[in-house]
Structure 1
Amino acid sequence: MAGFEYDFPSITSSGPLNLSNFPVDALPGEHDGDSSLPGDTFGAVLQYLNQMLMGEDLEQRPCMYQELSALQAAEKSFYDALTGVEIIKVADEKEKERDKFTNGSAKKRNHYRQDDEHVEAGRATKQFASYAEEPTEIFDEALLCSSSNAGSWDLSYCEAKPGRRNNQQIGLTQEPKRGRPRASERKLNIREVVDMRSLLTQCAQSISDFDNRTANQLLNQIRQHSSPHGDGNERLAHYFADALEARVSGMGTTMYTAFSTRVSAADTLKAYQAYILASPFRKMSNILTGKTIQKLTTEASQIHIIDFGILYGFHWPCFIQALSKRPRGPPKLCITGIDLPQPGLRPAERVEETGRRLAHYCKKFNVPFEYHAIARKWETISLEELKIDRSETVIATCLYRLRNVPDETSVTSSARDTVLHLIKKINPDLFVHGILNGTYNAPFFVMRFREALHHFSSLFDMFDKTLPRHDQDRLVFEKEVLGRQSMNVIACEGTARIERPETYKQWQARNERAGFRQIPLNKDIVKEVRAKVKLQYHKDFLVDEDGKWILQGWKGRILQGWKGIVFDALSRWNFVQE
């Protein structure tokens, strides 16, 4: 574990971390321009992301999450680890084969692909220096423009014009449609959608029955009607066909591991911006988390956040900026960043880098800061390593990452429960838990495939309705995030299958068994989130409540859940309610 702290003007370090690589003047401040209104702190996420893209060698690095999860999936196979070069070679050869096939038999049908491929080829030759040339206004358009992002911390703005919906809504594609489609066209589209899902399901069933001949025939049919550049259904079919093909060939883990080396962290972060643009999920999660913690820590002089799955720390700039605006001055903030170790001689390097970025951000806004980095398997961490001071207000968070911790279906003892029991020992004043709501964790392949088909079809449809078809960042996100996740769900088994989500009701039962009880949702925060989603995003996004969970989804399908829970102690429960 490595850590450092500062309390102006001195800096001390137990494992020296140099902040000189992050010039303070390079970070956009809260008063830069007019793109962010007073009280609106979500723009801090884009400023933080922009700083990363312009100031670090991310073009030469793989994405942190993809690298860590690939290592987690492949570590059971020492042979796979030794033959990494062959893994990449095989993956590239298979991709070239698919391109040759789709460019031949499917080129006529997918007439729009040529232009897209030309654009993508040009994109591959871009140098990282181009990011430095991009003005910050690109990021402002996504989340900092006053008309679409006003008042992230001010509910009055959302109430000013209820139901307002205009061309500046986030995530709406502006492609006008004239007239009504003919009946024959509507029937044709419906038939193609049903046939594609049917072909995919039949192929999965054939693979389950070890009928590889039929499976390959069905895969050929799917390839003829799928494309990574088509509509949502065609894209879904393309990536699911990749996963089914990997399963047939017995190379699921190999293909999944190869993903971590195919795209740079810079491209992945740019694609992440497209995801933020298209959906409210992460933005609303930030608002829920930040405001709930703020209400709890109003009088606190020291705040200790223990973040399981910190990655790049995107969810903390807003909170840091909000702390800096407290009338009596900001409290001391300590963050313990926990994530999986990266391969190589410096397993904690990425987690430490996140700490340096957050330290720089805190220094910019005069928030006293201390950071500890832990790069270990979460279930092996001890309470003593967390360095908890009982005079602090302690917050534990885990946002959308516990699904990657092994459960009882993959290992003898549930590492998931072990982590929850560790959080119970921490005895935090608040535990913020965000989950990806999914039912595709069945041990039986066909059942798991059907549920994954429903889940991922919602995501591809969401992008189809909210981002242009030719958007390059959308293509990267679908390929490197959604395609990668579906590859793991469909093509991997045993401990290599790390995408193991549960429903929010299953998490409810698991958390209660660990000794936690939920806090009632703050009605004002929920009201703000509902208003923002209605005002700023596509009409098919939903925000709902069930019990003490707040749920987000698309077209009636719940995709994510969020809740705040506390250990079952009466005094602490009363303190949180007050």
Structure 2
Amino acid sequence: MAANLAILEATLAADQSTTNKIHVIDFDIGQGGQYKHLLRVLSTRQNGKPSVVKITTVPDNGGEERLRTVRQNLSQFAKEVGVGLEFNVVSQKLSELNRESLGCEPDEPIAVNFAFKLYSMPDESVSTDNPRDELLRRVKGLSPRVVTLVEQELNTNTAPFMARVNESCAYYGALLDSIEATVARDNPDRVKAEEALSRKFANSVACEGRDRVERCEVFGKWRARMGMAGFELRPMSQSMTESLRHRLTSGNRVHPSFTVKEENGGVCFGWISRTLTVASAWR
């Protein structure tokens, strides 16, 4: 939700009143749930002029069946809320990414979404090719209006083994505590979540080199990495933070131990005193 609000704030600014079209490039769209929220919010901001969202996803490998399902689900939802949707899948090597290959048109504002993506890409500590920084440089070359970054607040990249163990125990312990407090034990989704977290935890502490894909970094390191790639932080607005805080504090279904705060230009989401995820925007 934080990433979506940052995308809308940057692409539907006053100087963009001539177009209601947004082009979002996503490098790990997952099941597409984030974009249902984006489409719903856009449907309330059309001002009599239909909105069009173009989503271009760049998958790592395969997943054609899953992406077909994502396309069908999002297309159906877009039709229900009255927003136009163009959904494209572009399978390309990192070295081939450019505006033309991604179908970027001159008049459309571009947003690039990195939600839980960059942490799993090898960096200079793993490979001299450093695909993590190479992707950031390629994205900078697209001249996007905004780049949204959502990552876990956890250092499992270059930290030594014992530090990784302690950090991972504290982090995943807080996540499991939040699940224990908010999800019924007989909920089948809880079992899936706990199994997924156990795999992430095990990979964080038991694997090395390319076998360790859980290479999260804290926000301070992401700030430095984004800066080296030529990006400037686009601070989240106070109104956005307040909107997200309101969603977390209103209603009976939200547990009071969830927290949201603005810190160093990013929006931090946490459980009690532990920050779990940070969302930020860049230009």
Give the alignment's TM-score, normalised by structure 1. Answer: 0.45
8 Å CA contact 1:348, 1:373 repeated in 2: no
Residue 409 of structure 1: SS of its match in structure 2? Answer: coil
8 Å CA contact 1:341, 1:376 repeated in 2: no
Alignment deviations for residues 165-203 of structure 1 (CA, whole Å, 9 cap, x no partner): xxxxxxxxxxxxxxxxxxxxxxxxxxxxxxxxxxxxxxx
State the AA in 2 paired with 1:329: K
Match of residue 331 from structure 1: 51
Residue 518 of structure 1: SS of its match in structure 2? Answer: coil
Q: CA deviation at 1:545?
A: 1.8
Distance of aligned partners of 1:486 and 1:394 in 2 relative to their CA distance in 1, 3 Å threshold: same
Distance of aligned partners of 1:478 and 1:395 in 2 relative to their CA distance in 1, 3 Å threshold: same
State the AA in 2 paired with 1:374: V
State the AA in 2 paired with 1:493: E
After TM superposition, the structure 1 = structure 2 runs for residues 14-413 of structure 1, keeping only pairs within 5 Å, are 286=1, 288-298=2-12, 299=17, 300-325=19-44, 326-342=46-62, 348-376=64-92, 379-383=94-98, 384-413=100-129
Match of residue 146 from structure 2: 430
Equivalent of 2:275 in 558, 562, 571: 558
Alignment deviations for residues 271-296 of structure 1 (CA, whole Å, 9 cap, x no partner): xxxxxxxxxxxxxxx1x233333333
| 2:170 corresponds to 1:454 | yes
State the AA in 2 paired with 1:340: D
Residue 86 of structure 2: SS of its match in structure 1? Answer: strand
| 2:225 corresponds to 1:510 | yes
Q: CA deviation at 1:443?
A: 5.5
Distance of aligned partners of 1:291 and 1:446 in 2 relative to their CA distance in 1, 3 Å threshold: closer
Alignment deviations for residues 336-366 of structure 1 (CA, whole Å, 9 cap, x no partner): 0122213xxxx54433432233223223333
Match of residue 261 from structure 2: 544
Alignment deviations for residues 21-71 of structure 1 (CA, whole Å, 9 cap, x no partner): xxxxxxxxxxxxxxxxxxxxxxxxxxxxxxxxxxxxxxxxxxxxxxxxxxx
Residue 474 of structure 1: SS of its match in structure 2? Answer: helix
Q: Distance in 1 between matches of 2:183 and 2:65?
A: 35
Q: CA deviation at 1:539?
A: 2.4
Residue 34 of structure 2: SS of its match in structure 1? Answer: coil
8 Å CA contact 2:42, 2:83 repeated in 1: yes
8 Å CA contact 1:336, 1:374 repeated in 2: yes
Alignment deviations for residues 511-530 of structure 1 (CA, whole Å, 9 cap, x no partner): 01111111232111211212
Worse-superposed segment, 383-392 or 419-428: 383-392
8 Å CA contact 2:270, 2:277 repeated in 1: yes
Match of residue 524 from structure 1: 239
Q: CA deviation at 1:302?
A: 2.2
Alignment deviations for residues 532-569 of structure 1 (CA, whole Å, 9 cap, x no partner): 22334222222122121110111211110011111xxx
Residue 517 of structure 1: SS of its match in structure 2? Answer: coil
Q: Distance in 2 between matches of 1:297 and 1:441?
A: 33
State the AA in 1 paired with 2:67: V
Q: Distance in 2 between matches of 1:423 and 1:540?
A: 36
Q: Distance in 2 between matches of 1:476 and 1:553?
A: 21
Match of residue 499 from structure 1: 214
State the AA in 2 paired with 1:302: K
Q: Distance in 2 between matches of 1:376 and 1:453?
A: 37
Q: Distance in 2 between matches of 1:562 and 1:317?
A: 18
Identity of aligned residues (%): 26
Distance of aligned partners of 1:424 and 1:477 in 2 relative to their CA distance in 1, 3 Å threshold: same
Give the alignment's TM-score, normalised by structure 2. Answer: 0.89
Residue 33 of structure 2: SS of its match in structure 1? Answer: coil
State the AA in 1 paired with 2:261: D
Larger Rg: 1
8 Å CA contact 2:204, 2:214 repeated in 1: yes
State the AA in 1 paired with 2:34: H
Alignment deviations for residues 226-271 of structure 1 (CA, whole Å, 9 cap, x no partner): xxxxxxxxxxxxxxxxxxxxxxxxxxxxxxxxxxxxxxxxxxxxxx
Equivalent of 2:136 in 420, 423, 435: 420
Q: Report the count of equivalent residues.
A: 274
Q: Distance in 2 between matches of 1:488 and 1:418?
A: 24
Q: CA RMSD in A?
A: 2.0
8 Å CA contact 2:11, 2:145 repeated in 1: no
Match of residue 158 from structure 2: 442
Q: CA deviation at 1:470?
A: 4.2
Higher strand share: 2
8 Å CA contact 2:241, 2:261 repeated in 1: no
Distance of aligned partners of 1:410 and 1:366 in 2 relative to their CA distance in 1, 3 Å threshold: same
8 Å CA contact 2:28, 2:117 repeated in 1: yes
Q: Distance in 2 between matches of 1:381 and 1:544?
A: 38
Distance of aligned partners of 1:474 and 1:430 in 2 relative to their CA distance in 1, 3 Å threshold: same
Residue 552 of structure 1: SS of its match in structure 2? Answer: strand
State the AA in 2 paired with 1:394: I
